[in-house]
Amino acid sequence: MRTYKITSLLVITSLALFSRSYGQKTASLKDSYKNDFLIGTALNATQIEEKDPTAKVLIPKQFNAATPENIMKAEVIHPGWDKYNFDLADKLVAYGKKYNIRINGHTLIWHSQLPAFMHGMQDADSVKQYFTNHIKTVAARYNGKVFSWDVVNEALNEDGTLRKSIFADKLGPDFVTEAFRLAQAASPDAQLYYNDYNNEQPAKRAGCIALIKKIQAAGVRIDGVGIQGHWRASNIPLKDIEESIVEYSKLGIKVMFTELDLGVLPNPWDGDAADVNMKATYTAKMNPYANGLPDSMQVKLTKGYEDLFKLFLKYKGTVSRVTFWGVNDGQSWLNGWPIKGRTNYPLLFDRNYQPKPAFDAVIALKK
């Protein structure tokens, strides 16, 4: 069996505390980092509607920012050409107001999870009409109610070129700039962000910087860039992340880590990815921790989060928000992507909402 060197007393102490119950004495992430940056989480419908009693207590205590997992994506909020479904999005806004949690709208324009009527649409004028009406209608409804918008999500390929999508194909390469222009007009009180994965990697980062400069050169407002942060605990690209914080900040914009999780399972491909359309076949070898995470991996996860938050704190004047993509391990999309039926452990709270050693490591940095 391979052994791992435990690098600090902090990790040993955290492992000893792993079995404690969540309660009033548990520290608060948002309070610990209140002078540094917002601490956010992704919320699902059950959590937004406060149907989970444990989450109802934990979320307002731990987080001061929230992003909806799916309920503001186009297939949910705009299911028919002239039909919008604002029910859950309105509940999310009310939830944020109730608990003083800043809401990040996610997302206005994305090539994935589009409504069914968009599938196979060939007419460029129809795509343009959808594009314009969708942004105007949704962004305007929540002007002054959401703190920020992920205006465009995942528009780039890994080499930094523009991704082939229905929007790029029918509207041309300036569709990203136009999306920000429309969002700025419809929701002038919201912060406007571009969001992507792997845009801390040099080639994609260069493409992202070029995209942001193009928006700025057109006289259109863009307030920040989101680096999703879907990394593996054993392979966090800390050097690339730091270089990206520095390079993006030179553009005069904020930097956020918008969908943070640290997977611990084997990757079926070389390198990291976060394309929801990528799939792989289940094998037992690809699901090694179905019965629990061994201490060796718990240590890696803890060290990974510790290293990341040290870096975030180093640039706390530039990093404005860190959002985890889910509240607890059971909620994580990584249990079903890219292979369905796996058991992953990528977040700070376990499947019973208990704080993990990684939680203690993140809190300890502020003590």
Sign of CA dihedral 83, 193, 227, 95: negative
Calpha distance 290→303 (Å, rounded)? 22
Kindly report the backbone phi and psi dihedral angles of residue 205, in degrees, each rounded to the nearest multiple of 5, phi listed first.
-60, -45
**28: region left, alpha or beta (phi > 0 left; psi from -120 to 50 alpha):** beta
User: Residues 69, 154, 178, 306: which is the catalytic one?
Assistant: 154
**How far is CA 92 from its chain centroid?**
17
Residue 200 is a catalytic residue: no
- Both structure tokens of 27: 């520290």
For residue 191, with 0-12 CB atoms within 10 Å meaning exposed, 13-18 middle and 19 or more buried, which class applies?
buried
- In the three-class reduction of DSSP (H, G, I as helix; E, B as strand; rest coil), residue 45 is classed as helix
Backbone angles phi, psi at 294, to 5 degrees: -70, 155
CB burial string 261-283: b at 16+ within 10 A, e below: bbbbbebeeeebbbeeeeeeeee
Pairs from 268-277 (Cβ < 8 Å, separation ≥ 24): 268/338, 268/339, 272/198, 272/230, 272/231, 272/232, 272/235, 273/197, 273/198, 273/338, 274/197, 274/198, 274/228, 274/230, 275/154, 275/197, 276/112, 276/113, 276/337, 277/112
- H-state helical runs in the chain: 9-16, 29-32, 45-48, 53-62, 74-77, 87-99, 124-141, 166-171, 175-186, 202-217, 238-249, 295-314, 357-364
69 is catalytic: no
Can you give the three-state secondary structure of 226-264, one letter per residue?
EECCEEECCCCCHHHHHHHHHHHHCCCCEEEEEEEEEEC
Q: Which residue in the list 69, 178, 259, 306 is annotated as catalytic?
A: 259
Residues identified as active-site: 154, 259
